[in-house]
Amino acid sequence: GWKMKKYHIVNFGCQMNERDAETMAGVCEGLGYVPADGPEEAELILVNTCCVRETAQARALGRIGELKRLKDGRPDLVIGVGGCMVEQPHVRQQLLAGAPHVNLLFGTRDLDRLPQLLAEAVEAPVRRGEGKPLTVRRRSAFRALVNVSRGCDNRCTYCIVPAVRGGLVSRPPGEILDEVAGLVAEGYVDITLLGQNVTAYAHDRPDYPSLGKLLRRVGELGSRRLRFLTSHPRDFSPQLVDSLARVRGLCRHVHLPVQSGSDRILGTMGRGYTADAYLRLVGEIRQALPGVAITTDGIVGFPGESEGDFAATLDLFRQVRFAAAFTFLYSPRQGTPAAGWDVQVPLEVRKERLARLLELQNGISLEMNQAEVGKTVEVLVEGPSRKDKRLALGRTTTNRAVLFVEERPDPGRFKWVRVSGASPFNLYGETLGDA
Ligand code: SAH
Ligand code: SF4
Ligand code: F3S
């Protein structure tokens, strides 16, 4: 009998990829496909890849390899691979030669053309309407990601992102404001403005407003919560710090990747700030936004990192007291400057340092969360907790995950919760009622 064709998207990587996957889903639905429950049921599978670290790339390649079995059983299955990983010429070659079950490779800047590319791949009639904004299939009905820029003009010596995502391109403020206004009208209450380096917004377009001004205008549109990701400490201007207090709905959370606490390593990374400058900035942000949670990214075992350099990182983490941190083993990326340096830190040393940093940060995260016990916090309900179905998961303005007992949680609702317990990664509490 007749049935709707189904699509499935496998997504890896950061929020930028999450947002791109929503566009991919919209394109699939524009071609008449409906969401499948899993890859086995789908006639069209898209894999959106990441390559920021070797582990991310290995995971994506592994998943693509697994799909071969599905394709062997169902030759009509169409498989497309997109995202950052396929922007690397050597990986593209590897896939073209070694993965004939993949029908289509598309890059991070091919999304505008994806309707045509996919239509060709699935042999559907190409529709008119080129140049029209792509329809988006958003995963959440209350939390939305909004691009404000793409690409990055920095050249951090470890980072593959500029090579695979290209240089900075800021989006016109009018488009951003229109998109957010539409989202607010649809009932979205938590908006995140996204950029690879969001604090570089308008650096390529002096005629655009600064990020601080943009945030204030977006705030006026009335979303209850507003966030921005990811900031670069060097580009976090004094004007932006000044604006923070005046942005309506701005969440008390700033993600500010520090990478290292050693000035020498920050220098060879090309980050453009010192540990002292970073500490000063954190102080200013905390003064501007009382109660703000500062989170970070750190890289351990960058080429040339000595025990003393690493001690400086531990020291900085102790001084700042981050609410949470993502810490990574340095991963050499082909074509980046640092990958070619002959002072690589042995894997065993990198692993041992990462374990020490994790242990330190877990202790700090726990203490920071314990300091919340006894407070009443406003949470945005996300739904049932994945780990324990009897608990509901919500998030505070500081982006802390709060677990509380609730029979049938109402996603998108704001609740008051009294915090009664803490672990390094969660708060626990009881609801007091609607907020
Ligand atoms: N655009 C953001 C995010 C980049 S990727 C930014 O510039 O901050 C997210 C994090 O991955 C980075 O902050 C960094 O900590 C980490 N990362 C990037 N390249 C890496 C590499 N080669 N090895 C290990 N970690 C890396
Ligand atoms: Fe991965 Fe970086 Fe691309 Fe995001 S931008 S998907 S983290 S490689
Ligand atoms: Fe990467 Fe540095 Fe840009 S971490 S995305 S090159 S700011």
266-300 confidence digits (pLDDT tens): 999 999 999 999 999 999 999 999 999 999 999 99
What pTM did the predictor assign? 0.94
Q: Which tens digits make up the pLDDT trace of 318-359?
A: 999 999 999 999 999 999 999 999 999 999 999 999 999 999
Q: How far is the CA of 66 from the centre of ligand 3 (A)?
A: 31
Q: Which residues does 269 contact at the CB level (< 8 Å), separation at least 6?
A: 156, 157, 158, 259, 260, 299, 302, 338
Q: Which of 68-89 are b and which e, b meaning 16 or more Cβ less than 10 Å from the residue's Cβ?
A: eeebeeeeebbbbbbbbbbbbe
pLDDT computed for residue 130 by the predictor: 57
Assess whether pLDDT exceeds 70 at residue 2.
Answer: no
Tell me the C-alpha distance between 335 and 29, whole Å.
Answer: 37
Q: Which atom of ligand 1 is nearest to the CA of 154?
A: 7
Write down the pLDDT at residue 407.
82
Distance 161 CA to ligand 2 centre (A): 6
pLDDT digits (tens, 9 = 90+) for 213-265: 999 999 999 999 999 999 999 999 999 999 999 999 999 999 999 999 999 99
Task: Judge if the beta carbon of residue 255 lies within 6 A of ligand 1.
Answer: no
Ligand 2, residues at Cβ distance < 6 Å: 13-14, 16-17, 50-52, 83-84, 161, 164-165
17 Cα: distance to centroid of ligand 2 (angstroms): 7
Is pLDDT of 131 > 70?
A: no
Q: Which ligand is nearest to the CA of 164?
A: 2
Name the closest-CA residue to atom 2, ligand 3: 156
Burial of 325 (0-12, 13-18, 19+ CB in 10 A): buried
Give percent above pLDDT 70 in the chain.
97
